């Protein structure tokens, strides 16, 4: 059974940094796409970044100058590096796995992801 675990959430002051980890276990293939999504109260879930099975990456324009996504295949882990954080980054962050998405040219929609983590809270205070 595929399991995704988000690690690294917490509280940070504006201007600070956090690195989220998505640890994947139980997936039978070595290559897969991971997407990072976030949701804050009263708002729709938003796709933030993704890394494809071919290691192509995409980060949405609104955070592209501050966020980056990467992976460590040896650790089955994908990272979301968040710098110069702002209060509007406050949300629950989820990672999700897709076995269907190979190359990333834009942010895949949530429907493309078949397995999801439980989410981790990120709070940015001003």
pLDDT, tens only, 61-99? 999 999 999 999 999 999 999 999 999 999 999 999 999
pLDDT score recorded for residue 28: 93
Measured CA to CA, the distance from residue 109 to residue 14 in angstroms comes to 29
pLDDT, tens only, 36-70? 999 998 999 999 999 999 999 999 999 999 999 99
What element of type H or E holds 115? strand 115-116
Three-state SS letters, 65-81 = CCEEEEEEHHHCEEEEE
């Amino acid at each position: 059974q595929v399991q995704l675990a988000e690690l690294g959430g917490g509280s940070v002051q504006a201007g600070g940094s956090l690195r989220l980890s998505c640890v994947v276990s139980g997936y039978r293939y070595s290559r897969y796409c991971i997407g990072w999504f976030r949701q804050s109260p009263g708002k729709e879930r938003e796709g933030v970044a993704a890394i494809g099975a071919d290691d192509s990456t995409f980060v949405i324009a609104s955070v592209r100058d501050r966020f980056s996504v990467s992976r460590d295949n040896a650790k089955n882990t994908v990272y979301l590096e968040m710098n110069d954080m702002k209060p509007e980054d406050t949300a629950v962050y989820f990672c999700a796995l897709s076995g269907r998405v190979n190359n990333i040219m834009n942010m895949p929609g949530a429907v493309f992801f078949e397995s999801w983590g439980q989410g981790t809270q990120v709070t940015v205070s001003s």
